[in-house]
Structure 1
Amino acid sequence: MPDVQSLVREKAQAAHDAAVAMSILRSGEKNKALLAMAQALVTHAEEILQANAEDMARAQANAMKTSMQDRLRLTPERIAGMAEGLRQVAQLKDPVGEVIGGSTLPNGLTITKVRVPIGVVGIIYEARPNVTADAIGLCLKSGNTVVLKGGSEALHSNRTIAKILSEAAQKEGVPAGAVQFIDVTDRQAVTELIRMNGLVDVVIPRGSARLIQAVVQNATVPVIETGAGVCHTFVDETADCDMARKIAINAKVQRPSVCNAMETLLVHENVAQNFLPAMLDDFFKAGVTIFGCEKTQKFDEKVQPATDEDWATEYGDLRLSIKIVSGIDEALSHIARYGTRHSECIVTRDMQNAKRFQAEVDAAVVYVNASTRFTDGFEFGFGAEIGISTQKLHARGPMALPELTSYKYLVNGDGQIRG
């Protein structure tokens, strides 16, 4: 067996060699492949579940966190959801070749700006088998080839899904080499992939803040930073308390392991007395552990003291920080200090405060009176997403098909030369 460096280079080279053929596939050909891939997931569901059972058994033996096990676990319903995601991507408009600008110069040259695939996309992710299907589907529809490096926790699941999808795609004309899965657990494989300049065009990490920062700090290939979500909900003094409780319980409890779940609840001091007693009761009934500021602790003895580290922590489980603030100024200051530019929410009936919050909060998605759990490519109508970008270049928020393209200029003339 080749060493890790040679193996990763071999995978990256194969994806690179397939990139041109992938980039010129027609929309109909790509859509036909995506539908075949969706059907393959359904047809081979039992095989996928058996592979996932191996990963789950090891996760339980290693005492993996419950929230991480939730991300790792596959069910018939989740596999059906993965297949539906591929079908939705097939129905979406193909961005490749879209004209997004152009002009005719005084000298007669015509300039047309068109979308083109990025090329070879490297995806590094943790215990999320659904990412395997999402990434392959979105990359192929946008004309890219893809090199996948999943976490060792999901090795059997990811390997099986990638094999099934690659085989189904190739049967429908997708070039061999377009889908590559790095089938080793050695962490050196990540280091090699993020330094494959000349073969890999961009790397997208999905997972914990630790993983993302490790990739950002060590990559020589361009990186799109995604995922880390210390998301806040601010309950303003004019908030409808019933609405605020529904939004807050949904944002924390509906699926706490994901990056768009709320980690900190900020409450205006003028509404705390009316809002917090019932809110705390709702959280405790849902099994949430609360860390609060001194003012919050006075409302219930079960509230534990919050530390500065708590305000900056993406829990990813049923833990929550709560802080009572003096007003919107303190809420904005807290979010600016501890937020990760992912998703932030204000619950208010004061439209001036709503407008100010949306104008001043630096995040990919800023909500008024809605749960942060909606930050998702599927929910936004984009189909499956490749990730939530928390940076400003080159994409921001849920990344779908257009965000997986670049552009080039097509210039046509009839003999012009520059004087």
Structure 2
Amino acid sequence: MFQKILIANRGEIALRVLRACKELGIQTVVVHSTADADAMHVRLADESVCIGPPPSRDSYLNVHQIVAACEITGADAVHPGYGFLSENAKFADILAAHNITFIGPSGDHIRVMGDKIEAKRTAKRLGIPVVPGSEGAISDEKEARRVAAEIGYPVIIKASAGGGGRGMKVARNEADLDVALATAKSEAGAAFGDDAVYIEKYLEKPRHIEIQVFGDGMGSGIHLGERDCSLQRRHQKVWEEANSPALNAEERARIGNICANAVAGLGYSGAGTIEFLYEDGEFYFIEMNTRLQVEHPVTEAITGIDLVHEQIRVASGGGLSVRQEDIRFHGHAIECRINAEDPRTFAPSPGTITHFHTPGGLGIRVDSGVYSGYRIPPYYDSLIGKLIVHGRNRVECMMRLRRALDEFVVDGIKTTLPLFRDLVGNPDIANGDYDIHWLEKYLAAPSD
């Protein structure tokens, strides 16, 4: 087991990893920017190292400073959390060259799954169902028209190196295609430094279903069920739940086993998430995230398995702590992402939190690194906390969530709490009747 882990992240995920390390008796080092000097994870860590000024490129993305912090403190492993360097293959390679363990998959696996075209090819080879579309990057308008005619309109054009909705355009007919292609390539080049794009069949009303997987790097893999992440705004997840209201036990086992066998066949090590669009009983591969997800707590709630403990165990060479037949799913869990944003416009709302009170009681968990008097800096992601609620079934979970949202108090800044208070009382949400477009339509509707 590791002696000392450096946590290369900030906010709630840094605190989440720190707590897991303390439970395992592992010393902790956190890095931070000057803007985060008073952050909770900095206060609670065994050691902390300031690695630069507020901009991420000068601090949390500064590989040389992070490696230097490892060497100064004697950290023998790095946990990247999510975001920042968590899916940076070069970072994983550099750590390996310095004999520091990256708590995650190999640089090669990050590289393969980070390229959307290569990831789709790999998924297909491993037996994962994929969306009909181009085999590789689209070279010109003529090829785009040929592929679109073969798979049928509407189609969606996606950036090969992208994510988060950037470099993504829908064409409903041939007249739309040339403009959509040019726009997607331009956005992809500006956002990712790579204008390669590919084409897929566009699904009209799919759900977003993702499967949590783990591999031991030695040919074994497991799945821990699915999460439904269909409530999204601009392709950013807002509300996640497990199990999905749309799946039954047979569908869950079928797609879960496909994914577990795939990570085993890949020789994958650590946590990963294989994401799908789901429509009319069929799953279609989107991408694989080679890291811990923001929404991992809902999986922990229904399985009782600590995913960060498992990451650390696998990275240290200890293998998986459970077999597939050991995993049981209990009840239902929902996570709401609490952001420092206006609940209608989603404009960022940095500033000082004057009062912060979290809900409690059976089945309630809040992952957050903020406190009363903490100033939300304007430089980073607006997530300030996650409310995770667990119940014996979805009805109980929703009732508990409604009560927990009523108790949650964040004063001094605007947050998305009012949005969730509205959603929990909506009949479509109560019935689990929504798809990936539902939330944007709801937000665009005139308010009463």
Superposed pair shares fold, TM > 0.5: no
Greater helix fraction, Structure 1 or Structure 2: 1
TM-score of the pair, normalised by structure 2? 0.32
TM-score of the pair, normalised by structure 1? 0.34
Greater strand fraction, Structure 1 or Structure 2: 2
Larger Rg: 1
